[in-house]
């Protein structure tokens, strides 16, 4: 099973590399300003929420003006880290990104310390809150973080949001004392089957709920969720203000447990400062003029509210988004959120 998943991972990586190289051959990898003819949104794996959310945003954008020859594509990626890289090097002009990684990239901290600040990143709006989710097989009886000692825990592939987040927890938040064995072999599309096949003992997934991948694991072998104990949660929230206390509601899966205590991270739609204002304005307008449609496409999107989508950003707003918000009277340019990079 492990070899099969590795072959699939390598094949997926090769296909993505081919697609990105093809983009370079057509001139799309020059600078973000050269991608204005099409909107390319970096998302995540097909089993997560970034990919379908990006697809819905693209549908709203393309339908906003049927007379315009616009084309929007939601691209499968390994997640937040690769989306930030793609925006910076011109392989994509938009990406859905965890706000903790956005803040760290903008300010050049934690996993981005060696790169320095990426102050060219700009926010359009924030989206839903994703929960830090630790999933185990129910039959193994793992009930707390302390039970993970010596266990194989898949933390996501390099480039994914969960991989970077767990690295921050291990390196900066004292989670290294848990002494589990971090594994980064399985993508979000593979970790459920790897868990049920016994290739790993648990996996980390930063995602909104309910989620198809977690449901798959629950149906295949039955899962349990691990609470984030107070001794780990409180220092984490104090040190990193972009993390918020959160819960995975009871009743979404078959585990029979009550609400699961954890922490949450907001996702945001991000672009480059050089992306044309008219492109950002059109994309922002198409989303907010059809917000009810977006809310109705998934339970996680149901709670989207204009105020929080504008205010809860950790990077400065792009001028194209700012123009739309000021036209609606939602904010003024003098009081526009500038983000909280590096908090």
Taking residues 115-136, report their average pLDDT.
Answer: 95
Q: How confident is the model at residue 26 (pLDDT cuts 50, 70, 90)?
A: very low
Q: Considering the entire predicted model, what is its pTM?
A: 0.80
CATH code at 2-128+268-327 = 3.40.190.10
Instruction: Break the chain into its structural domains and give their ranges.
Output: 2-128+268-327, 131-265
Task: Tell me the pLDDT tens digit for each residue of 218-270.
Answer: 999 999 999 998 888 998 899 888 899 999 999 989 877 789 999 999 999 99
Does a cis peptide bond (omega within 30 degrees of 0) precede residue 139? Answer: no
Q: Is the pLDDT of residue 192 over 70?
A: yes
| Six-digit token string for 331 | 């904010």
- Contact (Cβ atoms closer than 8 angstroms) between residue 242 and residue 100: yes
- Contact (Cβ atoms closer than 8 angstroms) between residue 129 and residue 75: no
- Cα separation, 230 vs 217, whole angstroms: 27
Q: How confident is the model at residue 47 (pLDDT cuts 50, 70, 90)?
A: confident
Name which of 54-58, 176-180, 313-317 the model is least confident about: 176-180
Higher pLDDT, 191 or 28: 191
CATH code at 131-265 = 3.40.190.10
Name the one residue in this structure whose structure tokens are 């049927």. 66
Same fold, 2-128+268-327 and 131-265: yes
3-state secondary structure the chain: CHHHHHHHHHHHHHHHHHHHHHHHHCCCCCCHHHHCCEEEEECCCCCCCHHHHHHHHHHHHHHHCCCCCCEEEEECCCCHHHHHHHHHHCCCCEEEEEHHHHHHHHHCCHHHCCCCCCCCEEEEEEEEEEEEEEEEEHHHCCCCHHHHCCCEEECCCCCCHHHHHHHHHHHHCCHHHHCCEEECCCCCCCHHHHHHCCCCCEEEEEECCCCHHHHHHHHHHCEEECCCCHHHHHHHHHHCCCCEEEEECCCCCCCCCCCEEEEEEEEEEEEECCCCHHHHHHHHHHHHCCHHHHHCCCHHHCCCCHHHHHHCCCCCECHHHHHHHHHCCCCCCCCCCCCCCCC
Q: What is the pLDDT of residue 19?
A: 37
- Cα separation, 88 vs 31, whole angstroms: 8
Per the DSSP assignment, residues forming a β-bridge with 4 are: none
Q: Is the pLDDT of residue 141 over 50?
A: yes
């Amino acid at each position: 099973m492990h070899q099969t998943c590795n072959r699939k991972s390598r094949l997926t990586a090769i296909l993505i590399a081919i697609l990105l190289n093809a983009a370079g051959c057509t001139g799309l990898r020059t600078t973000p300003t050269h991608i204005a003819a099409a909107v390319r949104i970096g998302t995540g794996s097909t089993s997560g929420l970034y990919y379908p959310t990006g697809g819905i945003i693209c549908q709203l954008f393309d339908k906003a003006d049927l007379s315009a020859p616009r084309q929007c594509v939601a691209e499968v990626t390994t997640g937040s880290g690769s989306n930030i890289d793609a925006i910076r090097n011109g392989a994509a002009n938009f990406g859905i990104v965890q706000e903790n990684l956005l803040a760290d990239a903008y300010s050049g901290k934690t996993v981005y310390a060696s790169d320095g600040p990426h102050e060219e990143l700009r926010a359009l709006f924030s989206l839903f809150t994703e929960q830090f989710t630790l999933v185990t097989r129910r039959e193994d009886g793992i009930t707390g973080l302390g039970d993970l000692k010596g266990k194989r825990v898949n933390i996501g592939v390099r480039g994914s949001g969960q991989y970077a987040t767990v690295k921050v927890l291990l390196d900066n938040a004292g989670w290294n004392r848990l002494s589990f064995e971090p594994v980064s072999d399985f993508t979000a599309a593979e970790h459920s089957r790897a868990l049920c096949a016994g290739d790993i003992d648990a996996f980390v997934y930063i995602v909104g709920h309910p989620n198809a991948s977690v449901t798959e694991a629950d149906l295949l072998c039955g899962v349990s969720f691990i609470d984030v104990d107070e001794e780990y949660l409180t220092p984490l929230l104090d040190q990193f203000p972009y993390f918020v206390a959160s819960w995975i509601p009871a009743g979404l899966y078959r585990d029979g447990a009550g609400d699961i205590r954890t922490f949450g991270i907001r996702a945001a739609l991000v672009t480059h400062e050089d992306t044309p204002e008219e492109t950002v304005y059109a994309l922002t307008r198409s989303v907010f003029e059809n917000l009810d449609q977006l809310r109705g496409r998934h339970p996680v999107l149901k709670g989207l509210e204009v105020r929080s989508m504008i205010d809860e950003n950790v990077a400065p707003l792009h001028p194209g988004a700012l123009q739309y918000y000021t036209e609606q009277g939602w904010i003024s340019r003098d009081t526009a959120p500038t983000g909280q990079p590096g908090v």
